[in-house]
Amino acid sequence: GFGTCIYVIGGFECVCRVGYISGPRESCEDVNECEDMGSLCAFRCLNMPGGFKCTCPYGYTLAADGRHCEDLDECQTPANDCRFQCKNLIGSFMCICPDGYRQVGMADDCVDIDECRTIPDVCSNGRCINTRGSYRCECFDGFEPSRTQKECVDVRAGYCFKLPSCSAQTRDVREMTRVDCCCGMGAAWGPRCERCPQRGTQTYNDLCPHGVGFDKDGRDVDECSLMRHLCQNGRCINTMGSYRCICNKGYKPDSSGTNCIDVNECDHVPTPCKFTCENTEGSFRCSCPVGYNLGVDGITCIDIDECKTGRHTCQNQCINTQGSYQCACQKGYSQDGGQCLDVNECTDEPSLCGPSGTCMNMPGSFKCLCPRGFNIDPSGRFCIDNDECLDDSRCQHGCENLAGSYRCGCPDGYRQHSYWNHCIDDNECTSGSACGSASCENTPGSFSCSCPPGYIFDGTHMACIELGGGGGGCSNAPCSFGCLPTGSHGYSCGCPDGYQRIGQGHCVSAIPTSPYGGGYYPPGQFNNVLDNSISQLGNLRGAGGGDGTYTIPGEKVISTEGCYSCKLNSNNRQKRDLTRQRQHNLGHIGRHNLRRLDKKVPNRIQHGHHRRSKQDYHFTKATNSTKNKIWKSGMHLTVLVPVKSFLQDIDLLKIQPAFTYLKNNEHFNIVDGNRENLFQISMRDGVAVLSNREKIQEPGLHILKILGTVDSANFKSSTEEEEPFHLTVHIVIK
């Protein structure tokens, strides 16, 4: 409804519009942004289909970004009913009188103020004239009204002096007003050397009401144009209310920033000179010791090569050194009196070119002779293996580098030729057990099992079973993930993608691991199915074993990949996962000496009739911290995980029931083997997840016993008998 349906292999996917998310029922549901992201709106969030909207309180309006609230200026709206002037407030407004008027009582009425009578000393150096709502000044000679015409500004011109003694020369000094001089950097002004008022006094504040660097009208005083030579050895830059000096190279501003002083470069760390530094006015000078010349940059010292310039007294070989030279023989020779003799590096250093190459002495040197498959290293002293596997074009299905050679891997269903380095098809039908009693047909890289008409191939029993009519036992089967009839009354329950069946009513899935980790064992390694007909734990000796190895027990080793459901018919064909097979062929199992088989089998739970058949178990004692329990040792799984992949809180195993009446009615607990509380089981949407509480950094073996019990209060099935679920999990960390 609010998305697009896209076909994918084996099903479909829903791509939802913005503001919607895929729901559990394969539909697009609205995302409540106000709950998921509550800080989207500054005031209040209102969820909308496919989005959201922010709202604001009274007196405020929504800002341009649609999330924040800003004040509403009621003075610009019809709500403004003021006679004279309106003043906006935060969330409201009020009526006020304009400048030059005062309010009459509490009413919205204003009268003019006569500033010429109420303001003392108004229009100094002039005459005050009152106007409606204001006043203006008529100034005497030598004074002019300001821009506001509310005071008289002294416009008389005179010289400005930076020192109060007025001793500075006036040849390059411009004439300026007293305000520009005293409010700027001047100390005295005029032909009578009138001293400027001291800063911070009332007289100064009256003369310069806007502070230092500004005239009476608040305009900036340009000190750089009025008073030249302010910045010796630099350039004067006017700023608002002051100025600053940009100094020439070799100078820096003083603490006030209004003068340039010399920089002593020789005091810098590190010093600019490589040897001796001498400071000068605005610069520095470098010098070098004997045996060196000053470089063209005037900073570095360059060594004089006495050997090339002929400034040496050597009779054989001259070796230049920093600031000097030495007399010696060429490399590969030793000096014996006045002669230079060849050095046999092969006898002096027996480890040269080893262990694969052969050392051959040369006049003044040596040479490594490397065998095929080896190259000389960059130093020329050793023979190193040439990794042919770096060339991706050599092998299509994985490459294994060997000392001096390499070996290509093969995909499942193929084997390596006994002599040539290529893959040939493996005829699975020659073993006689690929399809059991059914007909086997070999195909390139695989095989298929066929049955007569009216029969289907059962991968569990490896036989052709008669197909009953009317859906067989699936008509009332309590399967959660699909059903396949087996005969006239039997049925087989399936598992979801990524899961495999175990026992008579559960599906399991293990973590995916890297094919290079050395611990990757897919289903089909032992009897090719996961059911209760597995062998007892054989010679399990722990992570180290007696000889430093771990022997795989004679049980089922669980796949760490996902499996898929395979519907079988009269032309049943076993499937392979070529992507995983190609990845696996790049690695190897290691000391376990196990070969990977990726041939999938149906992930189904089979029944001879509707009622669950009880299992024969071997009973042992399982002890935990609280009480003893009778343990049914019928089901064992082994999960192999590389220690480098064992991070904190990773999902090692997932268990979920395949029957509808067990969903959300079964609880799983670790009843034994959880030493130091390293592992935990949590329920996620009806799935029991086994994970580790913390990162495990050491290899070892952990044997956990997991018990699943049915909630009797919610278990209302009258036709099913549910035995407790017992599973022993061997977690091998290598």
Cα 454 to Cα 650: distance, rounded to the nearest angstrom: 46
pLDDT of 607 above 60: no
CA torsion 88-94-100-105 (nearest 10°) is -170
Tokens of 672: 């034994």
pLDDT above 90 for 368: yes
Q: Across residues 700-717, what is the average pLDDT? A: 79
Q: Residues 415-456: pLDDT tens digits?
A: 888 777 678 888 888 887 788 888 888 888 788 888 877 677
Q: Are 200 and 228 in contact (CB under 8 A)?
A: no
- Contacts for 374 with CB less than 8 Å, ≥ 6 apart: 356, 357, 383, 384, 385, 386, 404
Q: Is 236 helix (H, G, I), strand (E, B) or coil?
A: strand
In sequence order, what DSSP letters do the residues of 527-542 get, joined into one string? TTS-SS--PPP-S---
3-state helix vs strand vs coil in the chain, percent to 5: 10, 35, 55
| Mean residue pLDDT across the chain | 75
Q: How many CB atoms lie within 10 A of CB 726?
A: 24
CA distance 602 to 564: 7
Specify whether the CB–CB gap between 376 and 383 falls below 8 A.
yes
Q: In 392-526, where do the E strands start and end?
A: 399-402, 405-408, 414-416, 423-425, 439-443, 446-450, 455-458, 463-466, 483-486, 490-494, 500-502, 506-510
Residue 159's pLDDT band, with cuts at 50, 70 and 90, is confident
**For residues 448 and 428, what is the distance between their CA atoms, to the nearest angstrom?**
10
CA distances from 146 to 93, 118, 125 (A): 34, 20, 12
| Spatial distance between the Cα atoms of 579 and 564, rounded to a whole number of angstroms | 14
Indicate the pairing of strand 636-641 with strand 556-557.
parallel
Tell me how far CA of residue 652 lies from CA of 543, 558, 594, 601, in angstroms.
Answer: 18, 11, 21, 22
Identify the helix (H) or strand (E) that includes residue 180.
Answer: helix 178-182
Give the integer Cα–Cα distance in Å for 642 and 522: 15
CB 673 within 8 A of CB 705: yes
Element (H, E) at 578: helix 578-585
pLDDT band at 569 (very low <50, low <70, confident <90, very high): very low
List of residues 6+ apart from 98 with CB closer than 8 A? 84, 85, 110, 133
Question: Is residue 599 pLDDT above 50, yes or no?
Answer: no
Task: Report the amino acid identity of residue 471.
Answer: G
pTM for the structure as a whole: 0.31
User: Rounded to an integer, what is the distance from CA 429 to the centroid of its chain?
Assistant: 50
Instruction: Classify strands 399-402 and 679-684 as parallel, antiparallel or unpaired.
Output: unpaired
> How many residues are listed for the chain in this entry?
734
**What is residue 715's predicted lDDT score, i.e. its pLDDT?**
58
- By mean pLDDT, which of 217-231, 463-477, 662-676 is the weakest? 463-477
Tokens standing for residue 15? 């791509």
Task: State residue 245's pLDDT score.
Answer: 92
pLDDT digits (tens, 9 = 90+) for 622-631: 333 334 446 6
Range in 80-94, 295-309, 521-535, 719-733 with the lowest mean pLDDT: 521-535
What mean pLDDT is predicted for residues 568-579? 36
With a CB cutoff of 8 Å and minimum separation 6, the contacts of 192 are: none
Q: Is residue 350 reached through a cis peptide bond, with omega within 30 degrees of 0 on the bond before it?
A: no
Q: Is the peptide bond before 355 cis (omega within 30 degrees of 0)?
A: yes
Query: What is the band of 488 on the pLDDT scale with cuts at 50, 70, 90?
Result: low
Q: What would the DSSP string read from start to end of 529-575?
A: S-SS--PPP-S---SS-SSS--PPPSSEEPPSS--------TT-B--
State the burial class of residue 457 (Cβ atoms within 10 Å of its Cβ: 0-12, 13-18, 19+). buried
CA gap 202, 208 in Å, rounded: 10
If DSSP codes are grouped into helix, strand and coil, which group holds residue 57? coil
Per-position b or e across 11-21, b if 16+ CB within 10 A of its CB: eeebebeebbe
The secondary structure of residue 330, as a DSSP letter, is: P
Q: At 470, list the tokens.
A: 């009317």
- And the tokens for 653? 């195993």
**In the prediction, which pLDDT does 556 show?**
38
Which tokens in the block code for residue 346? 């092969």
Beta bridge partners of 503: none
607 versus 275: which is more confidently predicted?
Answer: 275
User: Higher-confidence residue: 296 or 153?
Assistant: 296
Averaged pLDDT for residues 216-229: 81
Q: What is the CATH number of domain 31-71?
A: 2.10.25.10
Task: Look at residue 633 in the predicted model and tell me its pLDDT.
Answer: 58
Q: Which residue has the higher pLDDT, 522 or 725?
A: 725
End-to-end CA distance of the chain: 50
pLDDT in tens, 39-59: 778 888 888 888 888 888 888
CA 74 to mean position of chain CA atoms? 49
Please report the DSSP string for 388-426 in residue order: GGGSTTS-SS-EEEETTEEEE---TTEEE-SSSSSEEE-
- pLDDT given for residue 241 in this prediction: 83
* Whole-number percent of the chain with pLDDT over 90: 12
Give the count of beta carbons closer than 10 Å to the beta carbon of residue 203. Answer: 11
Average pLDDT value for residue range 66-88? 87
23 against 596, higher pLDDT: 23
307-329 pLDDT per residue, tens: 888 888 776 788 899 888 888 88
Q: Helix (H, G, I), strand (E, B), or coil: what is residue 621?
A: strand
pLDDT: which is higher, 619 or 686: 686
For residues 87 and 96, the answer to whether their CB atoms sit within 8 Å is yes
Task: Tell which residue, 498, 490, 483, 484, has the closest CA to residue 562.
Answer: 498
According to CATH, what is the number of the domain 637-713+722-733? 2.60.40.60
Per-residue pLDDT tens digits for 500-548 = 888 768 899 886 543 333 333 333 333 333 332 222 233 333 333 344 4
Of residues 632 and 88, the one with the higher pLDDT is 88
Contacts of 700 (CB under 8 A, 6+ apart): 542, 543, 733
Element (H, E) at 130: strand 126-131
Token pair 């009269």 in the structure block, residue: 570
Of residues 84, 90, 86, the one with CA closest to residue 70: 90
pLDDT band of residue 102 (cuts 50, 70, 90) is confident
30-39, 254-263, 365-374: range with lowest mean pLDDT = 30-39
Is the distance from CB of 507 to CB of 656 less than 8 angstroms? Answer: yes
- Return the structure tokens found at 254: 């003083």
pLDDT over 70 at 394, yes or no: yes
Q: Are 397 and 411 in contact (CB under 8 A)?
A: yes
